[in-house]
Structure 1
Amino acid sequence: MPCMKNGKKYFTKISLLAAVMAALFVVTCIAAPCRAQELKKITILYTNDTHSRLLPFERPDVGKSVGGIERRAEYFRSVKKREPGVLIVDAGDLCQGTPFYNFFKGEAEFNSFALAGYDLAAVGNHEFDNGLDNLKLQAERSGLRLVCANLFDSDTLKPLFAPFKIVEIGGVKTAVIGIMGKDSWAAVSNQLKKGVLYADEVRLLEKLCATLDKSVDLIVLLSHSGHEADLRLAEALPRVDVIIGSHTHTKLDKPLVVKKTAGRTGSTAITQAFENGVYAGRLDIYLDGANRPVRYDGGLKLIDGGIRINKRSALHASLSRYENAMKKEISRKIGVCEAEMSNFVADMFNATDHPLGRLVCDAVNSAAGSDVFFSNSTMLRDRLPKGDITIETVYRIIPFDNTVTVFEMKGDALLGMMDFIAANFGKNESFQYGGISFTIDMKKRKAFDVKVKGMPVEAGRTYKVATSSYIAQGNLMGSEMFKEVCGRDELGGNIRDMFAGYIEKTGSIKPPADERIKLIK
C-alpha cells in the first residue's frame, strides 16, 4: 500500500490540487428552471453497489424477479419525462458479482450504465478488480463519466479521475464530487494499489468545498465510504448538501437528514439504496429563491416486473449480445443442492462460520491437499439455492479470480496465528474455515481447543495451511497472520474452479453440519 505523505508539504500539495481542480470545471446543463415565486424542485436518482447485477434475479427476502438495468433505465426515463430537472448518479461498485464482469472485464457494466442514462458515477473499490488501466479503458470506451477526488498518481500527484463535475439541474448549479473512503480503499488488493496515492478525504474535501463554495449552489458528494463514514463526513463538511452513499449496502428507505451542530447552519441529506439494483433511490430537493435547500424528500423505488422494458432500445440490444456470448458456458449443470445455503452475514466483523462457508472451504481444502483452508467471509457473494447448480451459480457465489496459496507452518506457529485471529475478532473481517475448529474466549481474547481434522494441534508438527491469494498478499492482516512460515506454494487454478470441480465430482451436496468456531462470552 502506498504510504500517505504527512506534514505541511503534503498538505500544501493537496491544497494546490484542490484549487487547480476547482479552476478547471465545465458546467453541464441538465434541465430547465421553474416558475418564479415558488420553491424550486430538482431530483437526483441514485443507485449503489450494483455488483454486475444487470439482469433481473430472485431475491427471497424481496421478490422472485427484482432488479435489472433495463427496468432501471425505464424508471429513470419515466421520471425524467415528468420532472424538469433530474440528475442520475451511481455511488460506485457497479462491477464484480456476476459472470458479466468475469467474461467482459467491466465492459458490459460500463456500457449498460452509459446507455441507461447515468450522468456520473463514483469509483468503488471493486472497479479496481481488474486493475487501474482496465478501469480507465472501460470508462473511456463507454463514455460513462467517473468522479473521484482523492486518488492521485503517486509520481505526478495528478488526479487519476475527474475530481468533480459541475452541472446545472433545473437552473441549480451543482458540484458533484466523488470520493473513495478509507475502508473502501483498504479493501482494494495491495497488488492493485501500486502507483496510486490515496489522500485523506476530509482534509481534501474541506479545501475543495471552500474553493467551490461561491461558484455553485449545491454540493453533492458521491461517497464510496460506508454509512457510518458518511455520518462523520456530514458533520465534518457543513458545506456538503447531499451525500449519496455506498459500500456498506445500507438500505435507507428515506433520506436521512443530518442537522448541523451548534454554530453551523443548514443540513445534509444522506442516502443509500441497498444493493444489486433491487431499488433505485429518488431524492427531491426543494430550494428557495437563493437556490438553497429548504426541504428534502424521496425514497426507494422497487425495481421489479411492474416496470416494462423497451426491447427495441440500444441497451436491450447491447445487453443481449453480452448475455448470449456467455450463455452456453455458464448454463451447464454440474450438480444438485439438497438444501439452500445462505451466505448471509449480519455483521462481517463478528460473524462465525456458516454452512456455505464450511462447504466452500472444505472443497478448496480437499482440492489444495492442505490441512487447513480459510478465507474472508465476503469472498462468498451469493447464496446457494436448493436445486440444480450451474456454472453461473458458482460464478455468483465466488466471482473473484483468487487463487490458493499454501503455507507450511509448525503447530506452535499455527496456534499463535489462531490466537492472533482471536485477539482481533470483531476488528478484522470474519473468516470461513475448512479442516480446523476452535473456540474463542471473548474475555481473554484467546483461542483454545484448536483441532485440525478433529485432532489437537501438535506444536512440533508441520501443517499445510492454505488461504486465498488476496489474504496471502497481505490484505486483511495476512502479513501478520503468516509471519512464521517455513514454506510457501502458489497453486494454479482459482478457488471458484476448485469449488465447481468439487460439486461436479460429488454430484449432490448438502450443508456441512459441524460448526468450526465457538464463542465463549
Structure 2
Amino acid sequence: MNLSRREFLQALTITLLSSNCSTQRRFGDFDIEGLYSAQSFGNVRLLHFTDCHAQLLPVYYREPSNILTAGERHGHAVPLSGQALVDYYRIKSGSPEAYAFTHLHFIELAEIYGKMGGFAHLATLIELLRGESGPGNTLLLDGGDSWQGSATALWTQGRDMVAACNLLGVDVMTGHWEFTYGSKRVLENLKQFNGEFAAQNIALTDAARFDSDDDNPAVFKPYVIKTLQHARVAVIGQAFPYTPIANPKRFVPDWQFGIQEHNLQAVIDQIKTDKAADVIVLLSHNGLDVDLKLASRVSRLDIILGGHTHDALPKPILIDNSGGKTWVSNAGSHGKFLAVLDLDVGKGRLKGLNYRLLPIFSNLLPPDPKMQKLIETVRNPYIDQLAYPLATADRLLYRRDRFHGTFDQLILDALLEVSGAEIAMSPGFRWGNTLLPGQTITLEDVMNHTAITYPETYMRSLLGREIKAILEDIADNLFNKDPYYRQGGDMVRVGGFRFNCDPNAEVGRRISGLRMPDGKTLDADKTYKVAGWAGVGEPSSGKTVWEVVVEYLGKSGER
C-alpha cells in the first residue's frame, strides 16, 4: 500500500520530535514539508538514483571542494562546487541544502543535520512519491554502481543489493562496477533481479560471437518500453563505456563496450519510426562530461539520466542538438539524493518537465519497516566483523576531491609503512563514506573504501620517467579536451612525493614539479620502489589493501 501524504507528514513530525534539540532548531527554520511536497505538474513521474555504491545505511559523504576540468563545456559552467554552487543556485548558506550539496562547513553541519541516504529512508520517500502520482504513473530507474562499495556487497557478490533493489521496486537499471563481479555472476544476479537490465553499448566480442550459436551480438536488451497509464516510456541503457579499460578486462573477456553513439542514434530512430514510445530516456553511466557531448550530437532523445561522476545537479541542463533539445541530469551518489522528474506528455511527445533533486535526510525521513528488516537480515551474519574497531579519526576523513582525499592519504601511509616502499599510489576512486573527527574507524569503514574484487597490493620498480608517464596518462583520461576520451574518476593519489598538474596543458605536459619529501626532484633515471593496489592487469599476489590498512591502524593507533 502506498503511503499517503497525511501518513507521511505524521511520520515526519514524529521523527523530527524524537531527534535532538539542535536538529529540531535548525530544521525548524526549513520548509521540510515543502522540500518533500507534491508538485502538481504533468502526468508521468520518473524517479532516478545512481551510484549508491551499496550503502544500505545512512552515511556522511562530503561533496568535493573543487571539480577541475578542461575542454569544451557546451557553454555551461557545470558542475559547480562549494560557494560557487551555493551562489549559482541561490542556496542559503548553512541550510540543509547547502550541507547536502557542498563541502562547506561540513563538520559543523554534519553534527546538526546528521547522516544522509540509507535504503530504508529512501524507500519511504519513493513510496510517498509513487502514491502521489497515482497507480501506474511512476518508473524507478537505477543508474548503476549499486552492487559494489561495501563489505556485505563484496561478501555476497552483490546479492544483498539485488534483494534491496527488488524491495525498492527498481524497474530498469544499467551498470558499471557490477561487471567487476564477472560476467557469470552478473548474469546469475540478474536472474534474481525483478526489474530489467538494459545496455545498448555492450556486445559480444568477435571471438565470442564466432563461438556463439546466436547471431545477435547484443548481450543485453538495448532498451525497455514501459507502458504507464498516460504514456509509453522508452528507457535505453548506457553502461559505463570504458569498463574493460578502467577495470580488469578479465572479468568480462567476451564483452566489448564503448559509447556507441551511432548505434544509440539507430536505436532512437527505430523507436521513433515504430512509434513505440512517447518519451525516450537514456539511463546513462557515461559521466556528466560525456553525456553533455552526447546530448549535443544525438537527436530526438528527450532526457539523459546520468551517473558515474557523482555530480549532484540541483537543476538539469538543456542541450541543443540537430533534432531539438535534450535534458541532462545527474543524481549524485551514495543514496544521498533522489531525482524526481515530472513529465507532461501528450500527443506522442514530451511537452514539459519539472525536475527536483531531493536530499535524503535520514533524521527527517522515517525508515521503511520492511526495508529496515531486510537490511538487518543482510548485515546480521557479519555484524561483529563490520563493527570491529580499529582506531579513532583525529581529522575529517573523506575521499572525494579532484586531487586529494584524507582517507586516501591514510591508505597511502599504510602502503608506504607496511610495504617499505618509497612511493605509493592509490586509485582516484570516488566512492567511500566520510568520517567525522572523533568517530571510531571500523573495519566496515575501511571496506567502504576498498571493497573490490581485485584488492591485492603490489610492489613495482619504476623509473622516475615511468612514474611521470603514468601520471600523464591518468591526467589525460581526466582532462582530455574531448569528453569522449575522459574515463571519470579523480586523479591518482600519491604518497612519498608531490607533483603539479595543469589540466589545460597539452598532452604530455600536464605534470610537472615532481619532488620527493626532501625537496629533491624525482630523478627520471632512478629506480623507485612503488607500492599500490587495484591494478587492472594480471592479478597481484600481495596482501589485500584492507589487510594492509588494518595492520597499519593496529600499529599506529589514532589517525
Is the alpha carbon distance of 1:76 and 1:379 closer, same or farther for their aligned partners in structure 2, counting shifts above 3 Å?
A: closer
Q: Secondary structure at the match of 1:287?
A: strand
Q: Does 1:501 align with 2:558?
A: no
Partner residue of 2:419 out of 343, 368, 379: 368
Match of 2:388 in 1: 332
Determine the structure 2 residue equivalent to 1:464: 529
- Residue in 2 that maps onto 1:131: 182
Aligned to 2:158: 106
Q: Is 1:435 aligned with 2:496?
A: yes
Q: Give the SS at the match of 1:57.
A: coil
Q: Cα distance 1:243–1:459, how it changes in 2: closer, same or farther (>3 A)?
A: closer
Q: Please give the alpha-carbon distance, in whole angstroms, between the structure 1 residues aligned to 2:191 and 2:469.
A: 44
| Corresponding residue number in structure 2 for 1:396 | 448
In structure 2, list runs of 5 or more residues that go unmatched: 1-39, 63-98, 101-112, 210-215, 479-490
Count the aligned residue pairs. Answer: 441
Q: Name the SS for the 2:154 alignment partner.
A: helix
Q: Deviations over 1:74-104 (max 9, x none)?
A: 2222122221311111111112222221221
- C-alpha separation in 1, matches of 2:268 and 2:525: 59
Give distance in 2, aligned partners of 1:117 and 1:189.
31
Higher deviation after alignment, 379-388 or 331-340? 379-388
Distance across 2 between alignment mates of 1:149 and 1:189: 21
Q: Secondary structure at the match of 1:150?
A: coil
Which residue is 1:518 aligned to? none
Q: Secondary structure at the match of 2:551?
A: helix
Residue in structure 2 matched with residue 242 of structure 1 by the alignment: 303
Are the aligned partners of 1:132 and 1:192 in contact in 2 as well (CA < 8 Å)?
yes
Q: Is 1:220 the counterpart of 2:249 in the alignment? A: no
Residue of structure 2 aligned with 1:90, choices 142, 148, 171:
142
| 2:378 pairs with 1:322 | yes
Q: Is the 8 A contact 1:371 1:452 kept in 2?
A: no
Q: Tell me, what secondary structure is at the counterpart of 1:508?
A: coil
C-alpha distance in 2 between matches for 1:446 and 1:203: 35
Q: Which amino acid aligns with 2:411?
A: V
Letter in 2 for 1:58: Y
> Structure 2 residue aligned with 1:257, among 318, 324, 342?
318
1:226–1:246 CA contact under 8 A, matched in 2: yes
User: Is the aligned partner of 1:293 residue 2:353?
Assistant: no
Which one-letter code corresponds to 1:295 in the other structure?
G
Q: C-alpha separation between the residues in 2 aligned to 1:227 and 1:129?
A: 22
CA distance in 1, matches of 2:513, 2:145: 39
| Matched letter for residue 278 of structure 2 | D
Partner of 1:284: 342
8 Å CA contact 1:86, 1:170 repeated in 2: no
Over 3 Å counting, the alpha-carbon distance change for 1:466 and 1:133 in structure 2 is same
Residue equivalent to 1:31: none
SS at match of 1:176: strand
Q: Is the 8 A contact 1:373 1:434 kept in 2?
A: yes
- 2:56 counterpart residue number: 54
- Residue deviations 1:150-199, cap 9 Å, x none? 11222225322222111112231221110124356642322223111225
1:426: which partner in 2? 475
Structure 2 CA distance for partners of 1:437 and 1:237, relative to 1, 3 Å: closer
Distance in 1 (alpha carbons) for counterparts of 2:473 and 2:523? 23
- Cα shift at 1:126: 0.7
Are the aligned partners of 1:344 and 1:383 in contact in 2 as well (CA < 8 Å)?
A: no
Choose 416-425 or 153-162, whichever is displaced more.
416-425
Match of 2:464 among 401, 408, 415: 415
Larger radius of gyration: 1
Question: In the aligned structure 1, how far is the partner of 2:122 from the partner of 2:139?
Answer: 14
8 Å contact from structure 1 (residues 48, 92) kept in 2: yes
CA distance in 2, matches of 1:338, 1:249: 27
Structure 1 match to 2:407: 356
Deviation (angstroms), 1:495: 0.8
Q: Secondary structure at the match of 1:70?
A: helix
Distance 1:143 1:439, change over 3 A: closer
Q: 2:253 aligns with which of 170, 179, 194?
A: 194
Please give the alpha-carbon distance, in whole angstroms, between the structure 2 residues aligned to 1:205 and 1:458.
47
Deviation at 1:494, TM superposition (A): 0.6
Distance 1:272 1:456 in 2: 41
Deviations 1:370-426 (A, max 9, x none): 3322122227733343222211121122223411122234xxxx1211332464473
- TM superposition shift of 1:258: 2.8
TM-superposed deviation, 1:449 = 5.8
1:278 positional shift: 0.8
1:122 alignment partner in structure 2: 174
Report if the CA contact (8 A) 2:412-2:424 is conserved.
yes
Contact 1:224–1:245 (Cα < 8 Å) also in 2:
yes
Distance in 2 between the 1:308 and 1:446 partners? 49
Check if 1:71 corresponds to 2:128: no
* Displacement after TM superposition at 1:283 (Å): 0.4
TM-score (norm 2): 0.72
Q: Which moved more, 1:63-72 or 1:179-188?
A: 179-188
| Larger strand proportion of the pair | 1
Relative contact order, higher structure (CA 8 A, sep 6+): 2
Q: CA deviation at 1:460?
A: 7.3
The residue identity in structure 2 corresponding to 1:209 is: I
Cα shift at 1:457: 6.0
| Counterpart residue number, 1:9 | none
Matched, 1:272 2:330: yes
Q: Deviations over 1:135-158 (max 9, x none)?
A: 121121232321111112222253
Deviation at 1:274, TM superposition (A): 0.9
For residue 336 of structure 1, report the CA deviation from its aligned partner.
1.8
Quick check: 1:422–1:440 contact (8 Å CA) kept in 2?
A: no
Is 1:309 the equivalent of 2:367? yes
1:209 alignment partner in structure 2: 268
Whether the 8 Å CA contact 2:471–2:492 is kept in 1: the answer is no
2:243 touches 2:257 (CA, 8 Å); kept in 1? no
Partner of 2:380, secondary structure, is: helix
Amino acid at match of 1:274: G
Give the Cα separation in 2 of the matches to 1:333 and 1:212. 54
Distance in 2, matches of 1:121 and 1:260, equals 26
The code of the aligned residue for 1:328 comes to D
Q: Report the residue type matching 1:231 in the other structure.
A: L
Q: Which residue of 2 aligns with 1:42?
A: 44
Shift of 1:281: 0.8
User: What RMSD over aligned residues (CA atoms) do the two structures have, in Å?
Assistant: 2.8
TM-superposed CA distance for 1:221, in Å, is 1.0
Question: Does structure 1 conserve the Cα–Cα contact (< 8 Å) formed by 2:41 and 2:342?
Answer: no
